[in-house]
Every structure is written in C-alpha cells, then in structure tokens.
Homo-oligomer: A and B are copies of this chain.
Amino acid sequence: MTDPLDTTPDRRPGGRTARVRAQVLDAVRAELAEHGHEGLTMEGVATRAGVHRATVYRRWRDVGGLLVDVIAAAGEIDWQPPDTGSLRGDLTALNQEIQESLVLRPSFAVALMAASFHSEPAARAQTQLWTDRYAQCEILVERAVQRGELPATRTDARSLLIAATAPLYHQLVLLRTDPDPRLPERAAETAVLAASAGAFSVRGQEACE
C-alpha cells in the first residue's frame, strides 16, 4: 500500500509513456523547424504529436518545459570539437559551425535562446549545455600549448574560447548583422593574436579546478 502523500510512487517510463514522449519531442523539433520559436505553441505540438493538449500541459507544463526536454536530448548526442592541427584552424572551424547553426532559418539555436528569456528551466538547461560544450573545447587550447603555439604560461582557456566565439553570437543574434563568411576566421584569428600577446595568461593559481 503506497502512501498517497508519497512523492515518488512507481513510475512507468516504458511503453506508451515513452512513445508519447518521442512523438511530442519530434513534434517540437518539427514545429521549430517549420514556424521557428515564434510559432511553437502547446496546441500545435499536441495536435502534431497526435496527443491531447492536457497531456502536453501535464507533462511539460509550458513551452519552456518542452525546450528543456529537447535540449536534454541534444546534450546526449556526442559532439566532438574540431581538430585541424592548429589553434587558429580549430577556432575557425568551431566558429564556422556556430555561424552555420545561427544562420540557419529557422535556427534551432536562436529558438532556444529566445525561449530561455521566457523560461528559467529552459535557461538553466541551455546554460548547462553551453558550459559543457565550452569545457569540451578547452582541449583545443591544451593541444595548442603542447604544440608550442601558445606561451608556456597557463592560459585561461575558457576566456580565450569566449573571446573567439562571442563576436559571432553578438553580431548574428543580438546585432543581427548580415552573415559574413569571413567572420568565423577573423574572430578566431583575433583571439589567437590576443592569446599570443598574453591576453589570457593566468597570473595567480586560479583556474585550478
């Protein structure tokens, strides 16, 4: 006999439940691809998924909840940072990847950012995903140091990566500048020049995790 106040009774993750989840998440991605983040509505997702509205509301609460689940699914694919043989090449390739994802219309990435302004859980999920990706990319910097491309002084990898990638997000998302095919390379090159000049050298012992 289970206590009715028990917050964790038996769950049923399999069978129909899993099928409904898959249908709904597919519907979310399809709606995003078709109408962008603007056209992403609970009603539309439910209809496309062939599921009742109330079901979507109960399990995902709101649009932000749907995005959280989609982001979680996106975080599960094993993404690998580029490895071209030089820091400049790696950062350029990374930036090209970013630019591609931001220029796509409608952009899944931009939809996530937009949604993050409206849903705290979605914002946390997205922040987590980005944090992971930047952490993964730190190996680019380590490899560059090993190759002797950067001074032997400890380099703040995260700051370097942000310096290299931030202009892309700024220009394409916030400033809405027309995409410039040279931008990924230029931003990467700028970051490398700054790094070579010691811009990201860590003086003290911070950055130790």
20 A-B pairs (CB sep. < 8 Å): A37-B117, A113-B117, A113-B174, A114-B117, A123-B176, A127-B176, A130-B175, A159-B167, A162-B170, A162-B171, A163-B163, A163-B167, A165-B170, A166-B166, A173-B174, A190-B194, A190-B200, A193-B193, A194-B197, A197-B197
**How many residues of A are counted as interface, with CB atoms below 8 angstroms from the partner's CB atoms?**
37
A170 is contacted by which of B170, B175, B190, B196 (Cβ under 8 Å)?
B170
The answer for the CA separation of A176 and B130 in the assembled complex, in Å, is 10
Contact partners of A198 in chain B: CB under 8 A: 193
Q: Which A113-172 residues have a C-beta within 8 angstroms of B?
A: 113-114, 117-118, 123, 127, 130-131, 159, 162-163, 165-167, 169-171
The answer for the CA separation of A19 and B194 in the assembled complex, in Å, is 52
Closest to A162 in B: B167
CB distance from A196 to the nearest CB of B (A): 7
The answer for the CA separation of A175 and B170 in the assembled complex, in Å, is 12
The answer for the CA separation of A38 and B119 in the assembled complex, in Å, is 9
| Partner-B contacts on A (CB < 8 A) | 37-38, 110, 113-114, 117-118, 123, 127, 130-131, 159, 162-163, 165-167, 169-171, 173-176, 186-187, 189-191, 193-194, 196-200, 205
The answer for the CA separation of A118 and B39 in the assembled complex, in Å, is 10
Given A117-B117, A189-B199; A170-B166 close (CB under 8 Å)? yes
Contact partners of A170 in chain B: CB under 8 A: 162, 165-166, 169-170
CB distance from A173 to the nearest CB of B (A): 8
A190 touching B163, Cβ below 8 Å: yes
